[in-house]
Structure formats: C-alpha cells, structure tokens
Amino acid sequence: MSNNEQDIRETTSVYFNYIIRHDVAPITVDELDARTLDEFNLQVSLAFTDEAEIVKERVRYLVPYILQNIDWQQYENPLEAWQLRYYYQRDRFLMKTGLSWERFMDHEPMQAAIEKLGLKPEPVFEFILFLSYYYRLRSDLRYSCMEQLNFLISELDSNDSASVQMDVKVGGKHFKISNSGFLRKMFHAVDRSQINTGTFVHDFDQGLSRDKVRALDYYIVKTLLDYLPTDKSLRRGGRFSQAERNFGLSVLSLCGRLPDIDREGECSAENNATFDKLMRDFNGTPIPFAMELFL
C-alpha cells in the first residue's frame, strides 16, 4: 500500500464516524453562515496557496455538505482544510470513478439542466465526483460479514439434502471438511452478536446487490438536489421540477447507470418514470454522510 493510500485510510478511520452529525437539515452554500464560509476559505488559501481561488470555486457547493455533517464540538480542533484532503487525491478520484470533465461538459442534457437550475458547471462536477467516489466505490456491492453469513445459511437451509464441503487453506496446505451435518451446525451456531460489532458491518447490510446500487443512486441524486443552491420554489406540490428531474437523470447517466445511446431521451421528461420511481422507492430513507462509508 502506498503512503497516499495509507493516509486516506487513516484520515477516514472509524474515529471520524463518531463525530458525524445525524440531525442536520440540508443547507446550501447560500444559507451557510458567512463567518464559517470565510474561515473555510481562509484555510483553503493556506492549504492550496497558488491554486486557492480555483479550489474555492470547484468546492463551493461541497462546503456546506462537508461542514454541517461534522460535529465540531466532538472534533475538538479548529476548522482546517483537512475536509478537502480528498482534493489532493483528485486525479485518483477521476481514475477510479471513470468520470471526466470533458465528458461532463459534453453531456448536453446535464449542461442544459445546470443552466436551467442556475448552477455553475465546475462546482457541480466536483460535488458529483466527491459523492461518486465516496458512495459508490467504497460501498458498491460490498457485502458485510453478517450479510455473507446470512446468505450462506439461507443457501444451506434451502438445499438441506445437498452435500456440503469446506476447503480451508492454511499457509500452502488445503484441509477439506466433508461432514455436511457438522458444517451446517457450525454455521448456525455462529454468535451473530459478535459479528454485529465488526468494523465492516455497516448501513449496507441488507438486500441484494441491485438494491444496494439503487440505494446509492438515490443517495447521490437526492444529496445533490438537497444541497445544490437551486430555486426550490420551482417544485410543485413537493414534486421535483422537470429541470431537477433532468439533472438527476443526467447524474445517473454520467455515472453509467443509464444507457448512453440516447441521452436526450433518457435524461428528459420521456424518462420521468425512472427518476420518480427511484425517489419513491427510497423516500424517507436516511442518507448516510458519504465520508462515513469510506472505511
């Protein structure tokens, strides 16, 4: 593991999960306390010097999302730019997510939605990149220890007459256990309370992979729509405006979650059903802070 990889793991250790607030109502950069924003910008200037203004512009929409989800009383340290530590790894984020500024700018429905919503492309792209990396690549299709155990036991129960065999590798040697009755009893006897305290048991401990990916789709789209400084009055009866729907569908398209053969159709009113169903299926589902999943 490289030093950079080690740094990332240490920065986002379990400790930071303990200082995450779960009682926040989303606010946008326009609603953020001016003094907090000024202090944050000062720290960015100290951390990035030559490119400070570029960084400030790119992370503008991210600032309230990062700041308000952390309990600064428990953190017990002055506001610093560590929250943007990920920015030092930006090239790595681009490589891992497959996102690119060029493709983002060439995505016509996305750019049309951004313009309609009165947003700026640079900070929108940075927010999508941030969420795509933290939500998807550190959680995508990752099964917890508990989930794997439950899946194994359900398979054993559904095939109670099938023979069971275990191949255990210790060093370079293999030990095969063929006593089906013993193996079934052994897995059923596992103390689940001990597994529940494991580090890697997290929010995504239920459901199949497809449901997990759709939940991540919802987290990304809903977080963006909650925190981006858009005119929420455009919504009618609590329903998202067409521009917001087009934007959400464009995010899914950009992240490879929709077919890329007909962007104009997939990211427009023609595909409202996809957006509305996603919002409806996960309506009211608590959305974990993205960095909380980065274990």
Residues 19 and 82 grouped into a single domain: yes
Asked whether residue 229 is domain-assigned, the answer is yes
Asked whether residue 80 is domain-assigned, the answer is yes
Among 158, 175, 196, residue at a domain's last position: 196
pLDDT per residue over 265-293, tens digit each?
999 999 999 999 999 999 988 888 876 64
Asked whether residue 201 is domain-assigned, the answer is no
Separation CA 221–CA 245 (nearest Å) = 10
Residues 271 and 176 grouped into a single domain: no
Among 160, 177, 196, residue at a domain's last position: 196
pLDDT per residue over 119-173, tens digit each?
999 999 999 998 998 886 655 444 556 666 776 787 788 778 888 888 777 766 7
Residues 170 and 104 grouped into a single domain: no
Q: How many domains does one find in the chain?
A: 2
Most confident of 76-90, 181-195, 250-264: 250-264
Asked whether residue 244 is domain-assigned, the answer is yes
Q: How confident is the model at residue 96 (pLDDT cuts 50, 70, 90)?
A: confident
Whether 118 and 228 have beta carbons less than 8 Å apart is answered as no
Q: Taking residues 35-54, what's their average pLDDT? A: 83
Residues 16 and 120 grouped into a single domain: yes
Asked whether residue 12 is domain-assigned, the answer is yes
Asked whether residue 191 is domain-assigned, the answer is yes
Residues 95 and 224 grouped into a single domain: yes
Residues 83 and 159 grouped into a single domain: no
Residues 168 and 257 grouped into a single domain: no
- Domain with 282 in it: 3-141+206-293
Among 129, 164, 196, residue at a domain's last position: 196
